[in-house]
Structure 1
């Protein structure tokens, strides 16, 4: 059977262009087929967003990735405010079956206390770990991640992966979730995360590595390949 990389992508209508631009960047560089699942809240019929502290529409629904994949195989979750500059199969090849999931384990304090759309940007443990997740969907501990369960958990519990032991959380290289503005410019990063604000927002259109985002966006808008 041919291998297909399943990618669950955060979708928020307020920055829908970011979703499409990210998908474009993955497609352009992928060497094998990919399948995208947009986390559009209106599509998630079994999930009702009950949290009131979300800065975007997928801040909690991202933890549905194993459920949406029938608790089988592997999948990638990615925030929509990203650009992939490398073959996503390189990330896929880092799968470690001994881990429940794998993330870039950021350890930093933010440079900005507000981000896009005026949302608060606070420091907290394991900040941005959950923005790019390589999920081992079949891991037995993920069975609890049902829509009802997620609806009733706090952000602290979910974003710190509190249902897992620390040794079950694998490491990914920082280049696979490089935080624009927060980290020094790195045009060679494999995946750039515009965590403070996608350049589609006016306040961030001239920030670090925004030109890379715009180059991909132009190909989405104009229909012109690399």
Structure 2
């Protein structure tokens, strides 16, 4: 595959944990060896998409599926939740693009350790939980052309988060290190991307949980030069 010289990175943004978005982007910038184009998935910037779903623990829980649309159904992009820290070169993930797949994800298979997560949100178990929190999108794949704003507005979360518009063979896998679930999984210093799915350490209830030090160090790095 011909190498692309720019990585398209769509990052979930929720004003209630805006600091998490900025920390995550800092960790990407610090380690990237290719140019990265960031697109914050902020609700107020999605002019042609109106969120009609009433459930969800964050503001981008459904709009993440707009990624192919936002890329004009062309090329590739990465979607990532904003509550993450990248400890590797994002170009490594970019290099895993497989043209035979419509999406590539870490195929988690686990039961949660917590009934609630940040801001008191329910944390239920369901099939393919957290698969959609890190997606390597083949935006030009014909199967993803169905993902229009209107279509996404009309689908339940169970359909979207389970990638039900795709045959299983079109859902490629990634190693777990690219979406390592802090607290839910054992501590792993070799995790390439730490996902604070239960709560980013910016929330006091999660400030001292396993793997929180990586986030705190990244926050300090982002804050350099500020009093």
TM category, shorter = over 0.9
Aligned to 2:101, which of 99, 102, 121? 99
**Partner of residue 34, structure 2:** 32
Aligned to 1:124, which of 118, 123, 126? 126
Is 1:154 aligned to 2:156, yes or no? Answer: yes
The 5-angstrom pairing of residues 50-69 of structure 1 reads 50-69=52-71
TM-score by length of 2: 0.97
Instruction: Give deviations 1:28-56, integer Å, cap 9, x for gaps.
Output: 00001000100100000000000000110
- State the alpha-carbon separation in 1 of the partners of residues 225 and 126 from structure 2: 40
The 5-angstrom pairing of residues 102-117 of structure 1 reads 102-117=104-119
**Partner of residue 46, structure 1:** 48
- Pair 1:165–1:223, CA change in 2 (3 A): farther
Q: Which portions of structure 1, spanning 4 or more consecutive aligned residues, are displaced by more than 2 angstroms? A: none
How many residues align? The count is 224
Shift of 1:90: 0.4
Aligned to 2:138, which of 136, 139, 145? 136
Shift of 1:188: 1.4
Instruction: Give deviations 1:154-196, integer Å, cap 9, x for gaps.
Output: 0000000000000000000000000000000001100000000
**Partner of residue 74, structure 1:** 76
- State the alpha-carbon separation in 1 of the partners of residues 36 and 97 from structure 2: 16
Shift of 1:221: 1.5
Is 1:214 aligned to 2:227, yes or no? Answer: no
- State the alpha-carbon separation in 1 of the partners of residues 141 and 180 from structure 2: 27
Shift of 1:8: 0.3
- State the alpha-carbon separation in 2 of the partners of residues 46 and 21 from structure 1: 28
Instruction: Give deviations 1:182-212, integer Å, cap 9, x for gaps.
Output: 0000011000000000000000000011010
- State the alpha-carbon separation in 2 of the partners of residues 33 and 87 from structure 1: 11
Shift of 1:76: 0.1
Partner SS state of residue 222, structure 1: coil
RMSD: 1.1
Shift of 1:223: 3.9
| Residue ranges of structure 2 left out of the alignment (5+ in a row) | none
- Pair 1:168–1:2, CA change in 2 (3 A): closer
Instruction: Give deviations 1:47-78, integer Å, cap 9, x for gaps.
Output: 00000001100000000000000000000000
TM-score by length of 1: 0.98
- State the alpha-carbon separation in 2 of the partners of residues 217 and 119 from structure 1: 24
The 5-angstrom pairing of residues 169-184 of structure 1 reads 169-184=171-186
- State the alpha-carbon separation in 2 of the partners of residues 35 and 46 from structure 1: 21
Shift of 1:2: 6.2
| Residue ranges of structure 1 left out of the alignment (5+ in a row) | none
